[in-house]
C-alpha cells in the first residue's frame, strides 16, 4: 500500500468515522440551526463517500447519486428547513425527552 495514496476503503472508513462523530455531535445539540448545520455536515460526508466510491471504482452511476445527494440533502432540504423556521418564527431550542448523556450512551451502545 502506498502511503501517499490510500485505498478507497481507507478513505471511506475515514468518512464513515467522521459521519459517526457528526451524528454523536448532532445528538448532543439543542438548537434548531445547529441541528440543521450538523445535518448538512453529515450529508456532505455521505456525498463524499459516494464520490470516493464513484472515483475509486469507476462507477459512473454513483456520480448521479452524488449530485442528487448534494442537491437534495445539502442544498434544498436545509434551505427549506431554514425557510420554515424563519416563516414560523421559531425562537426556541428543542427539548429532549432524555438528557444528553443518556442519549449519547444509547447511541454509543447502538454502534
Which cell is 85 given?
A: 423556521
Q: Please tell me whether residue 94 adopts helix, strand or coil conformation.
A: coil
CB atoms within 10 A of CB 48: 19
- The tens digit of pLDDT for each residue in 42-80 reads 999 999 999 998 988 888 899 999 999 999 999 999 999
72 DSSP assignment: I
Grid look-up 463517500 returns 49
d(CA 37, CA 91): 16
Rg (CA), the chain: 17
pTM value?
Answer: 0.79
Q: Mark out the alpha helices in the chain (DSSP H runs).
A: 8-27, 32-57, 61-69, 77-88, 100-110
- Kindly tell me if the per-residue pLDDT of 97 is higher than 90: no
Amino acid at each position: 500500500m502506498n502511503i501517499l495514496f490510500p485505498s478507497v476503503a481507507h478513505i471511506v472508513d475515514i468518512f464513515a468515522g467522521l459521519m459517526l462523530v457528526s451524528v454523536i455531535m448532532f445528538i448532543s445539540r439543542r438548537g434548531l440551526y445547529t441541528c440543521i448545520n450538523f445535518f448538512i455536515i453529515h450529508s456532505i460526508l455521505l456525498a463524499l463517500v459516494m464520490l470516493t466510491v464513484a472515483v475509486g471504482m469507476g462507477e459512473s452511476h454513483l456520480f448521479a447519486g452524488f449530485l442528487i445527494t448534494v442537491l437534495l440533502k445539502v442544498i434544498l432540504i436545509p434551505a427549506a428547513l431554514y425557510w420554515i423556521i424563519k416563516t414560523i418564527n421559531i425562537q426556541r431550542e428543542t427539548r429532549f425527552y432524555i438528557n444528553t448523556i443518556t442519549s449519547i450512551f444509547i447511541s454509543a451502545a447502538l454502534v
